[in-house]
Amino acid sequence: MAMTKLELEEIIEELEKIKGRHTELVSVYIPAGLNLSTVARQIEAEKGTASNIKSKTTRKNVIDALESISRELKLYKKTPENGMAIFCGNVSEKEGQANIKLWVIEPPQSLKVRMYRCDQTFVLTPLKEMLEVEEVYGLVVMDRREATLGLLEGKQIKVLRKMTSGVPGKTEKGGQSAARFARLREGLAKEFFRRIAQAMKEVYFDMPKLKGIILGGPVPTKEDFMKEGQLVTKLKDMVIGMKDIGQTDESGLTDLVEVSKDLLASQEIIYEKKLLEKYFELLGKGKKAVYKKRDIEKALKYGAVDVLILSKKLKKKEMRELSKKAEDISARVEIVSDETEEGKQFFNMGGMGAILRFEV
Protein backbone atom coordinates (compact mmCIF):
# COMPACT_ATOMS: atom_id res chain seq x y z
CA MET A 1 0.00 0.00 0.00
CA ALA A 2 1.33 3.45 -0.96
CA MET A 3 2.62 5.42 2.01
CA THR A 4 1.69 9.00 2.86
CA LYS A 5 4.08 11.90 2.30
CA LEU A 6 4.65 12.24 6.03
CA GLU A 7 5.54 8.55 6.33
CA LEU A 8 7.87 8.94 3.36
CA GLU A 9 9.53 11.96 4.93
CA GLU A 10 10.16 10.02 8.12
CA ILE A 11 11.72 7.04 6.35
CA ILE A 12 13.91 9.33 4.21
CA GLU A 13 15.24 10.93 7.40
CA GLU A 14 16.07 7.45 8.70
CA LEU A 15 17.81 6.37 5.49
CA GLU A 16 19.80 9.61 5.23
CA LYS A 17 21.53 8.87 8.54
CA ILE A 18 22.93 5.56 7.31
CA LYS A 19 26.50 5.65 5.99
CA GLY A 20 28.19 2.52 4.68
CA ARG A 21 31.80 1.71 5.54
CA HIS A 22 32.31 0.81 1.89
CA THR A 23 30.18 0.91 -1.29
CA GLU A 24 27.78 -1.71 0.06
CA LEU A 25 24.43 0.10 0.33
CA VAL A 26 22.11 -0.94 -2.50
CA SER A 27 19.36 1.32 -3.90
CA VAL A 28 16.87 -0.09 -6.42
CA TYR A 29 14.14 2.02 -8.08
CA ILE A 30 11.41 0.20 -9.98
CA PRO A 31 9.15 2.53 -12.01
CA ALA A 32 5.40 2.07 -12.25
CA GLY A 33 4.48 -0.43 -14.96
CA LEU A 34 7.85 -2.20 -15.16
CA ASN A 35 7.73 -6.01 -15.14
CA LEU A 36 9.23 -7.30 -11.89
CA SER A 37 10.83 -10.28 -13.64
CA THR A 38 13.03 -7.81 -15.54
CA VAL A 39 14.26 -6.38 -12.23
CA ALA A 40 14.72 -9.86 -10.74
CA ARG A 41 16.97 -10.82 -13.67
CA GLN A 42 19.01 -7.64 -13.23
CA ILE A 43 19.52 -8.34 -9.51
CA GLU A 44 20.72 -11.87 -10.32
CA ALA A 45 23.16 -10.44 -12.86
CA GLU A 46 24.42 -7.94 -10.28
CA LYS A 47 25.27 -10.85 -7.95
CA GLY A 48 27.71 -12.07 -10.58
CA THR A 49 29.25 -8.62 -10.86
CA ALA A 50 29.50 -8.33 -7.07
CA SER A 51 31.50 -11.58 -6.92
CA ASN A 52 34.40 -9.63 -8.48
CA ILE A 53 34.63 -7.16 -5.56
CA LYS A 54 38.14 -7.45 -4.09
CA SER A 55 37.27 -6.90 -0.42
CA LYS A 56 35.91 -10.14 1.03
CA THR A 57 33.76 -8.29 3.61
CA THR A 58 32.30 -5.81 1.11
CA ARG A 59 31.69 -8.61 -1.41
CA LYS A 60 29.77 -10.66 1.16
CA ASN A 61 27.69 -7.69 2.34
CA VAL A 62 26.70 -6.67 -1.19
CA ILE A 63 25.77 -10.21 -2.21
CA ASP A 64 23.78 -10.68 1.03
CA ALA A 65 21.92 -7.42 0.31
CA LEU A 66 21.15 -8.51 -3.26
CA GLU A 67 19.87 -11.88 -2.04
CA SER A 68 17.58 -10.10 0.44
CA ILE A 69 16.22 -7.97 -2.40
CA SER A 70 15.69 -11.07 -4.57
CA ARG A 71 13.69 -12.75 -1.79
CA GLU A 72 11.60 -9.61 -1.31
CA LEU A 73 10.76 -9.36 -5.02
CA LYS A 74 9.42 -12.93 -4.99
CA LEU A 75 6.72 -11.81 -2.52
CA TYR A 76 5.16 -9.55 -5.18
CA LYS A 77 3.03 -10.81 -8.06
CA LYS A 78 3.38 -7.50 -9.90
CA THR A 79 4.85 -4.03 -9.49
CA PRO A 80 2.76 -1.84 -7.15
CA GLU A 81 0.67 0.84 -8.83
CA ASN A 82 3.14 3.67 -8.09
CA GLY A 83 6.25 1.52 -8.51
CA MET A 84 8.59 0.80 -5.61
CA ALA A 85 11.97 1.64 -4.14
CA ILE A 86 14.07 -0.92 -2.25
CA PHE A 87 17.04 -0.10 -0.05
CA CYS A 88 19.26 -2.74 1.51
CA GLY A 89 22.68 -2.97 3.05
CA ASN A 90 24.86 -3.48 6.08
CA VAL A 91 23.92 -0.92 8.73
CA SER A 92 26.12 -2.29 11.51
CA GLU A 93 28.30 0.30 13.21
CA LYS A 94 30.83 -2.33 14.27
CA GLU A 95 33.68 -3.18 11.93
CA GLY A 96 33.59 -6.78 10.78
CA GLN A 97 30.04 -7.35 12.02
CA ALA A 98 27.16 -7.44 9.54
CA ASN A 99 23.57 -6.32 10.06
CA ILE A 100 21.78 -6.46 6.73
CA LYS A 101 18.59 -4.41 6.81
CA LEU A 102 16.00 -3.90 4.07
CA TRP A 103 13.40 -1.17 3.42
CA VAL A 104 10.63 -1.37 0.82
CA ILE A 105 8.80 1.82 -0.14
CA GLU A 106 5.62 2.13 -2.18
CA PRO A 107 5.70 5.89 -2.80
CA PRO A 108 2.73 8.27 -2.74
CA GLN A 109 3.46 9.40 -6.31
CA SER A 110 4.18 7.41 -9.46
CA LEU A 111 7.89 6.59 -9.83
CA LYS A 112 9.39 7.39 -13.24
CA VAL A 113 12.98 6.42 -12.45
CA ARG A 114 14.62 3.04 -13.02
CA MET A 115 17.89 2.68 -11.13
CA TYR A 116 20.34 0.27 -9.55
CA ARG A 117 23.10 1.81 -7.46
CA CYS A 118 25.63 0.45 -4.97
CA ASP A 119 27.30 3.18 -2.93
CA GLN A 120 28.26 4.34 0.58
CA THR A 121 24.90 6.12 0.91
CA PHE A 122 21.40 5.35 -0.34
CA VAL A 123 20.17 7.29 -3.39
CA LEU A 124 17.15 9.28 -2.15
CA THR A 125 16.79 12.19 -4.60
CA PRO A 126 13.78 10.76 -6.57
CA LEU A 127 11.87 10.27 -3.30
CA LYS A 128 12.85 13.68 -1.92
CA GLU A 129 11.38 15.30 -5.03
CA MET A 130 8.02 13.72 -4.16
CA LEU A 131 8.02 15.56 -0.86
CA GLU A 132 8.02 18.81 -2.84
CA VAL A 133 4.75 17.85 -4.52
CA GLU A 134 2.31 20.08 -2.70
CA GLU A 135 0.90 21.92 -5.67
CA VAL A 136 -1.12 20.38 -8.50
CA TYR A 137 -1.87 22.48 -11.58
CA GLY A 138 -3.85 21.79 -14.72
CA LEU A 139 -1.98 22.42 -17.98
CA VAL A 140 -3.77 22.99 -21.28
CA VAL A 141 -2.00 23.72 -24.58
CA MET A 142 -4.07 24.32 -27.68
CA ASP A 143 -4.46 25.78 -31.11
CA ARG A 144 -7.39 25.36 -33.49
CA ARG A 145 -6.31 21.91 -34.60
CA GLU A 146 -4.93 20.18 -31.52
CA ALA A 147 -5.09 20.28 -27.72
CA THR A 148 -3.32 18.44 -24.91
CA LEU A 149 -4.51 18.40 -21.31
CA GLY A 150 -2.01 17.61 -18.60
CA LEU A 151 -1.20 17.86 -14.92
CA LEU A 152 1.80 19.28 -13.11
CA GLU A 153 2.48 17.47 -9.81
CA GLY A 154 5.58 18.95 -8.26
CA LYS A 155 8.16 18.43 -11.00
CA GLN A 156 6.26 15.69 -12.83
CA ILE A 157 4.15 16.40 -15.91
CA LYS A 158 1.42 13.91 -16.78
CA VAL A 159 -0.47 13.83 -20.08
CA LEU A 160 -4.15 13.31 -19.33
CA ARG A 161 -5.84 13.74 -22.70
CA LYS A 162 -5.02 14.52 -26.34
CA MET A 163 -7.55 15.94 -28.78
CA THR A 164 -7.74 16.94 -32.44
CA SER A 165 -10.33 19.17 -34.10
CA GLY A 166 -10.56 18.21 -37.74
CA VAL A 167 -10.41 21.92 -38.58
CA PRO A 168 -8.84 22.13 -42.05
CA GLY A 169 -5.82 24.32 -42.77
CA LYS A 170 -6.17 27.74 -44.37
CA THR A 171 -5.82 26.34 -47.90
CA GLU A 172 -9.16 26.41 -49.73
CA LYS A 173 -10.48 23.04 -50.91
CA GLY A 174 -13.27 21.80 -53.09
CA GLY A 175 -13.78 25.06 -54.94
CA GLN A 176 -15.57 26.66 -52.01
CA SER A 177 -15.68 30.42 -51.79
CA ALA A 178 -13.16 31.99 -49.43
CA ALA A 179 -15.93 33.41 -47.22
CA ARG A 180 -17.77 30.10 -46.97
CA PHE A 181 -14.56 28.23 -46.24
CA ALA A 182 -13.66 30.73 -43.50
CA ARG A 183 -17.10 30.32 -41.91
CA LEU A 184 -16.70 26.55 -41.97
CA ARG A 185 -13.31 26.76 -40.26
CA GLU A 186 -14.64 29.20 -37.68
CA GLY A 187 -17.61 26.97 -36.86
CA LEU A 188 -15.41 23.90 -36.48
CA ALA A 189 -12.99 25.85 -34.27
CA LYS A 190 -15.80 26.98 -31.95
CA GLU A 191 -17.05 23.40 -31.71
CA PHE A 192 -13.51 22.27 -30.86
CA PHE A 193 -13.28 24.92 -28.13
CA ARG A 194 -16.50 23.58 -26.60
CA ARG A 195 -15.08 20.03 -26.71
CA ILE A 196 -11.91 21.21 -24.94
CA ALA A 197 -14.04 22.94 -22.27
CA GLN A 198 -16.04 19.74 -21.77
CA ALA A 199 -12.84 17.68 -21.49
CA MET A 200 -11.47 20.15 -18.94
CA LYS A 201 -14.65 19.77 -16.90
CA GLU A 202 -14.37 15.98 -16.98
CA VAL A 203 -10.69 16.01 -16.01
CA TYR A 204 -10.33 18.93 -13.58
CA PHE A 205 -13.73 19.78 -12.06
CA ASP A 206 -13.69 17.26 -9.21
CA MET A 207 -9.92 17.28 -8.63
CA PRO A 208 -9.62 18.29 -4.93
CA LYS A 209 -5.91 19.20 -4.97
CA LEU A 210 -6.07 21.33 -8.11
CA LYS A 211 -4.74 24.81 -7.34
CA GLY A 212 -5.03 26.45 -10.74
CA ILE A 213 -5.02 26.02 -14.51
CA ILE A 214 -2.56 27.48 -17.00
CA LEU A 215 -3.44 27.85 -20.68
CA GLY A 216 -0.84 27.89 -23.43
CA GLY A 217 -1.00 28.39 -27.17
CA PRO A 218 -0.57 30.89 -29.96
CA VAL A 219 -2.17 34.33 -29.97
CA PRO A 220 -5.17 34.68 -30.16
CA THR A 221 -6.32 31.05 -29.88
CA LYS A 222 -6.33 30.74 -26.10
CA GLU A 223 -8.02 34.15 -25.75
CA ASP A 224 -10.69 33.07 -28.27
CA PHE A 225 -11.16 29.87 -26.29
CA MET A 226 -11.86 31.81 -23.09
CA LYS A 227 -14.55 33.78 -24.96
CA GLU A 228 -16.06 31.01 -27.08
CA GLY A 229 -15.34 27.76 -25.23
CA GLN A 230 -18.22 27.99 -22.75
CA LEU A 231 -15.90 26.94 -19.93
CA VAL A 232 -17.79 26.49 -16.65
CA THR A 233 -17.37 29.38 -14.19
CA LYS A 234 -15.56 27.31 -11.55
CA LEU A 235 -12.79 26.37 -13.99
CA LYS A 236 -12.69 29.78 -15.65
CA ASP A 237 -12.00 31.28 -12.21
CA MET A 238 -9.15 28.79 -11.74
CA VAL A 239 -7.26 29.96 -14.83
CA ILE A 240 -4.29 31.71 -13.24
CA GLY A 241 -2.45 32.62 -16.43
CA MET A 242 -2.14 32.34 -20.20
CA LYS A 243 1.19 31.95 -21.96
CA ASP A 244 2.23 32.23 -25.60
CA ILE A 245 3.76 28.99 -26.86
CA GLY A 246 3.92 27.28 -30.24
CA GLN A 247 3.69 23.56 -29.47
CA THR A 248 0.39 21.92 -28.57
CA ASP A 249 1.53 18.34 -27.95
CA GLU A 250 3.32 16.78 -24.96
CA SER A 251 6.39 18.96 -25.53
CA GLY A 252 4.07 21.98 -25.35
CA LEU A 253 3.19 21.04 -21.76
CA THR A 254 6.90 21.11 -20.88
CA ASP A 255 7.31 24.48 -22.60
CA LEU A 256 4.29 25.82 -20.72
CA VAL A 257 5.76 24.85 -17.34
CA GLU A 258 9.10 26.38 -18.28
CA VAL A 259 7.62 29.79 -19.13
CA SER A 260 5.31 29.71 -16.08
CA LYS A 261 7.90 29.25 -13.28
CA ASP A 262 7.47 32.74 -11.82
CA LEU A 263 3.69 32.38 -11.93
CA LEU A 264 3.80 29.01 -10.16
CA ALA A 265 6.16 30.24 -7.43
CA SER A 266 3.83 33.09 -6.48
CA GLN A 267 0.71 30.92 -6.66
CA GLU A 268 1.73 28.66 -3.76
CA ILE A 269 1.86 31.64 -1.37
CA ILE A 270 -1.41 33.03 -2.77
CA TYR A 271 -3.09 29.63 -2.30
CA GLU A 272 -1.96 29.41 1.33
CA LYS A 273 -3.18 32.93 2.08
CA LYS A 274 -6.62 32.26 0.57
CA LEU A 275 -6.98 28.94 2.41
CA LEU A 276 -6.10 30.48 5.78
CA GLU A 277 -8.26 33.57 5.14
CA LYS A 278 -11.22 31.26 4.53
CA TYR A 279 -10.37 29.27 7.68
CA PHE A 280 -10.07 32.39 9.86
CA GLU A 281 -13.34 33.74 8.47
CA LEU A 282 -15.21 30.53 9.36
CA LEU A 283 -13.52 30.43 12.76
CA GLY A 284 -14.55 34.03 13.43
CA LYS A 285 -18.17 33.17 12.67
CA GLY A 286 -17.97 30.16 14.96
CA LYS A 287 -19.18 27.86 12.21
CA LYS A 288 -17.60 24.82 10.58
CA ALA A 289 -14.05 25.50 11.80
CA VAL A 290 -12.08 24.35 14.85
CA TYR A 291 -8.53 24.89 16.12
CA LYS A 292 -8.09 23.06 19.40
CA LYS A 293 -6.56 19.59 19.15
CA ARG A 294 -9.34 17.90 21.12
CA ASP A 295 -11.99 19.49 18.86
CA ILE A 296 -10.08 18.49 15.72
CA GLU A 297 -9.76 14.89 16.93
CA LYS A 298 -13.48 14.79 17.79
CA ALA A 299 -14.36 16.08 14.32
CA LEU A 300 -12.03 13.49 12.74
CA LYS A 301 -13.67 10.74 14.81
CA TYR A 302 -17.12 11.70 13.49
CA GLY A 303 -15.92 12.09 9.89
CA ALA A 304 -16.74 15.79 9.94
CA VAL A 305 -13.42 17.18 8.70
CA ASP A 306 -13.35 18.43 5.13
CA VAL A 307 -9.88 20.05 5.20
CA LEU A 308 -7.23 19.43 7.85
CA ILE A 309 -4.70 22.28 7.96
CA LEU A 310 -1.30 21.72 9.57
CA SER A 311 1.70 24.01 9.95
CA LYS A 312 5.03 22.78 8.59
CA LYS A 313 6.51 23.70 11.97
CA LEU A 314 4.51 21.08 13.88
CA LYS A 315 6.27 17.98 15.18
CA LYS A 316 6.44 15.24 12.56
CA LYS A 317 4.84 12.61 14.79
CA GLU A 318 1.83 14.85 15.47
CA MET A 319 1.45 15.69 11.79
CA ARG A 320 1.62 12.02 10.83
CA GLU A 321 -0.99 10.91 13.37
CA LEU A 322 -3.51 13.62 12.42
CA SER A 323 -2.90 13.18 8.68
CA LYS A 324 -3.54 9.44 8.92
CA LYS A 325 -6.88 10.04 10.66
CA ALA A 326 -7.82 12.62 8.01
CA GLU A 327 -6.95 10.30 5.15
CA ASP A 328 -9.04 7.53 6.74
CA ILE A 329 -12.15 9.72 6.31
CA SER A 330 -11.07 11.06 2.87
CA ALA A 331 -10.43 14.55 4.22
CA ARG A 332 -7.98 16.81 2.39
CA VAL A 333 -4.72 17.56 4.20
CA GLU A 334 -3.05 20.94 3.60
CA ILE A 335 0.42 21.71 4.96
CA VAL A 336 1.04 25.46 5.23
CA SER A 337 4.24 27.43 5.77
CA ASP A 338 4.88 30.35 8.11
CA GLU A 339 6.10 32.54 5.22
CA THR A 340 2.95 34.69 5.32
CA GLU A 341 1.39 36.71 8.13
CA GLU A 342 -1.56 34.32 8.06
CA GLY A 343 0.82 31.34 8.35
CA LYS A 344 2.58 32.86 11.36
CA GLN A 345 -0.74 33.64 13.03
CA PHE A 346 -1.94 30.10 12.35
CA PHE A 347 1.17 28.56 13.95
CA ASN A 348 0.88 30.86 16.98
CA MET A 349 -2.66 29.54 17.48
CA GLY A 350 -1.34 25.99 17.73
CA GLY A 351 -0.46 25.16 14.13
CA MET A 352 -3.46 22.96 13.48
CA GLY A 353 -7.03 23.55 12.37
CA ALA A 354 -9.89 22.03 10.44
CA ILE A 355 -12.63 23.21 8.09
CA LEU A 356 -15.65 21.00 8.70
CA ARG A 357 -18.20 19.34 6.44
CA PHE A 358 -20.77 19.73 9.20
CA GLU A 359 -20.80 20.99 12.77
CA VAL A 360 -20.20 18.56 15.64
Identify the CA nearest to 208 among candidates 136, 278, 150, 110: 136
Residue 51: strand, helix, or coil = coil
Kindly report which listed range (100-104, 114-118, 177-181, 346-350) carries the lowest average pLDDT score.
177-181
Rounded CA-CA distance 245/257 in Å is 11
Which residues of the chain form CATH 3.30.1330.30? 272-356
How many Å is the Cα radius of gyration of the chain? 26
Query: What is the torsion angle, in degrees rounded to the nearest 10, for the CA atoms of residue 265, residue 270, residue 276 and residue 280?
Result: 160
Task: Give the Cα separation of 11 and 5 in Å (integer).
Answer: 10
Distance between CA atoms of 311 and 347, rounded to whole angstroms?
Answer: 6
Mean pLDDT, rounded, for 205-215: 90
The terminus-to-terminus CA distance of the chain in angstroms comes to 32
Coil, strand, or helix at residue 111? coil
* Identity of the amino acid at 188: L
Q: Is the dihedral of CA 46, 52, 58, 61 positive or negative?
A: positive
Instruction: List phi, psi (to 5°) of 320.
Output: -65, -45
Residue 14 · residue 316 · CB < 8 Å: no
Give the residue-averaged pLDDT of 132-146. Answer: 86
Edge-to-edge strand order for the sheet containing 25-30? 100-105, 84-90, 25-30, 115-119
For CATH 3.30.960.10, the residue range(s) in the chain are 5-131
Looking at the predicted structure, is the pLDDT value of residue 197 above 70?
yes
Q: How buried is residue 113: exposed, middle or buried, by Cβ count under 10 Å (0-12/13-18/19+)?
A: middle
Segment 226-271, tens digit of pLDDT: 998 889 999 999 999 999 999 999 999 999 999 998 888 777 777 8
pLDDT for 24 equals 93
DSSP-assigned letter for residue 227: H
The answer to whether residue 172 scores a pLDDT higher than 60 is no
Q: Which residues are CB-neighbours of 64 under 8 A, at least 6 positions away?
A: 90, 98, 100
- The CATH homologous superfamily of the domain defined by 272-356: Ribosomal protein L30/S12 (3.30.1330.30)
Rounded Cα distance between 313 and 168, Å, is 56
Give the mean pLDDT of 318-330: 91
Return the pLDDT at 134: 60
Name the more confident of 340 and 74: 74
Q: What is the mean predicted confidence (pLDDT) over 133-152?
A: 89
Q: Which amino acid makes up residue 235?
A: L
Are 335 and 134 within 8 A, CB to CB? yes
- Kindly state the average pLDDT of the residues 37-42: 95
**pLDDT tens column, 283-303:** 999 889 999 999 999 999 999
Longest CA–CA span in the chain (Å) reads 88
User: What class has domain 5-131?
Assistant: alpha beta
What's domain 136-259's architecture?
2-Layer Sandwich (3.30)
Decide if 149 contacts 160 (C-beta within 8 A): yes
Check pLDDT > 80 for residue 173: no
Selected residue with higher pLDDT from 179 and 86: 86
Residue-level pLDDT at 176: 56
Residues 176 and 207: beta-carbon distance below 8 Å = no
